[in-house]
Amino acid sequence: MNFIFRILSFTLTIFFIVHPLAPQQEMNKQPFIYKIIISDAITPASMEKLNKAIQKANQDNANALLIQLDTPGGLMSSMDEMVKSIMNSRVPIITYVAPPGATCGSAGVFILLSSHVAAMAPATNIGSATPITMGGTTGNNQDPKNQEALREKIMNHSIAKIKAIAEYYGRNSQFAIKTITDAANIPSTEAYKIQLIDAIAITEQELLNQINGKTVKTVDGEKVLQTKDINIIELKDDLRNKIQSIIANPNIAYLLIMIGITGIMIEIQYPGLIFPGVIGAISLVLGLYGLQTLPVNYAGFLLIFLGILFLILELKIVSYGLLSIAGIISIILGIIWIAESMKEVEETSIIFLFTTTFVIIGLFLFILRKVIKATKNKVVSGDQILFEDIGEAITEINQEKGKIFIHGEIWNAISKEIIPKGSRVQPYERIGMTLKVKKVDENN
Which amino acid is residue 363, in one-letter code? L
Contact criterion met (CB below 8 Å) for 167 and 159: no
Residues sharing a CB contact under 8 Å with residue 433, sequence separation 6 or more, in sequence order: 411, 412
Query: Is the model's pLDDT at 422 over the cut of 70?
Result: yes
Residues 383-439, CATH architecture: Beta Barrel (2.40)
pLDDT digits (tens, 9 = 90+) for 138-147: 444 556 777 7
Quote the DSSP letter at residue 101.
T
Which amino acid is residue 26, in one-letter code? E
3-class state of residue 427 by DSSP? strand
Residues annotated catalytic, as ranges: 106, 153
Give 222's pLDDT tier (boundaries 50, 70, 90).
Answer: very high
Closest of 241, 179, 212, 255 to residue 38, by C-alpha: 241
3-class state of residue 42 by DSSP? strand
Query: CA 341 to CA 399: how far, in whole Å?
Result: 83
pLDDT digits (tens, 9 = 90+) for 58-96: 999 999 999 999 999 988 888 999 999 999 999 999 999
| Count of C-beta atoms within a 10 Å radius of residue 351 | 10
Which amino acid is residue 88, in one-letter code? N
- Higher-scoring residue by pLDDT: 359, 10: 359
**357-386: string of b/e by CB count within 10 Å (b at 16+)?**
beebbeebeeeeeeeeeeeeeeeeeeeeeb
What is the pLDDT, as a whole number, of residue 244? 80
Closest of 83, 20, 89 to residue 237, by C-alpha: 20
What is the pLDDT, as a whole number, of residue 254? 87
Q: Count the helix, strand and coil residues of the chain and give each as a percent rounded to the nearest 5.
A: 50, 15, 30
Fold of the 27-237 domain: 2-enoyl-CoA Hydratase; Chain A, domain 1 (3.90.226)
3-class state of residue 5 by DSSP? helix
Entry pTM:
0.65
For residue 426, give the H/E element and its range: strand 424-431
What is the pLDDT, as a whole number, of residue 350? 55
